[in-house]
Amino acid sequence: MAIIIDGKAVSAATREAIKNEVAELKEKGVTPGLAVIIVGDDPASRVYVNNKKKACAELGMLSEEYALPAETTNEELLGLINELNGRKDINGILCQLPLPRHLDEKAVINAIAPEKDVDAFHPVNVGGIMTGDYSFLPCTPAGVMQMLKHYDIQTAGKHCVVIGRSNIVGKPMAMLMLHANATVTICHSRTVNLAEECKRADILIAAVGKPKFVTPDMVKEGAVVIDVGMDRDENGKLCGDVDFDAVEPICGAISPVPGGVGPMTISMLMRNTLTAAKLQNNL
């Protein structure tokens, strides 16, 4: 019987620690502040933004939302970011992706001051992740590492396979596992003998965006399986990249969807915002 890695429980413990640190900062006259920009009316983005605002309120942080119309220009968006970069009461700036197609996503990411880039997407922060000298980590990979730590799952000397090579999850996830002394393989759509590569993993991390993509023939007996996916199955039910019911009997430990990595992502964003506030106030 596999250990079920409970992201809700790990997230709750993480938030409790953050809440206590925020209270200590407030006693020193500092309230961590997060500005969230949303352009257009993408329903999924709206849900994420609302959840971020709710988390800030729960932890005693300041949050400001900037809901911009879909026809916002690059100049207007970059002007707002520049204004927020200059505000001392805003420690973290987040621009909800994806942006409408006419906007320059790369320019937007580059415009956010690296010390306020709580998504850790700016090239300066990405470079820090490569070298192991970082202030912030991308929220989802950081959440995965926190879950492994909470459950005392050893990474040193283990073979980790990451399925997916996105800039947001796959690549930074591989780097964090490398920093944690795992031997890392990154698999993707052009990988030859994908199932065989995955079956060698002691720790298998699926971040491919395809419902129930990982099947039992891809998983080694006793492996730890972390499902980063957030998909819908043929019945429209929320599921992950792993066929949970089929794979769970083989695993040593597995994270479910929902209730696995998902709750961790916003908690780690809150952690990054707290870190930003401390660094900017030399605390």
Tokens matching residue 163: 């399925």
> Strand 3-4 to strand 183-187: parallel, antiparallel, or no bridges (unpaired)?
unpaired
Which of 96, 158, 227, 243 is labelled catalytic? 96
Q: Which of 49, 55, 119, 113 is nearest to 81 (CA)?
A: 113
Distance CA 74, CA 94 (A): 16
* Alpha helix stretches (DSSP H) within the chain: 7-27, 43-59, 74-85, 105-111, 123-131, 139-150, 170-179, 194-199, 244-247, 262-280
Tokens matching residue 91: 């420690």
117 labelled catalytic: no
Which of 52, 116, 171, 212 is labelled catalytic? 52
Q: What is the Cα Rg of the chain in Å?
A: 19
52 labelled catalytic: yes
119 labelled catalytic: yes
Burial of 8 (0-12, 13-18, 19+ CB in 10 A): middle
Burial of 193 (0-12, 13-18, 19+ CB in 10 A): exposed
3-class state of residue 116 by DSSP: helix
CA distances, 128 to each of 16, 149, 194, 249 (Å): 28, 21, 30, 38
Tokens matching residue 10: 């790990």
The length of the chain is 283
Which of 116, 117, 119, 212 is labelled catalytic? 119
Tell me which residue has tokens 């257009």. 40
Q: Active-site residues: which are they?
A: 52, 96, 119
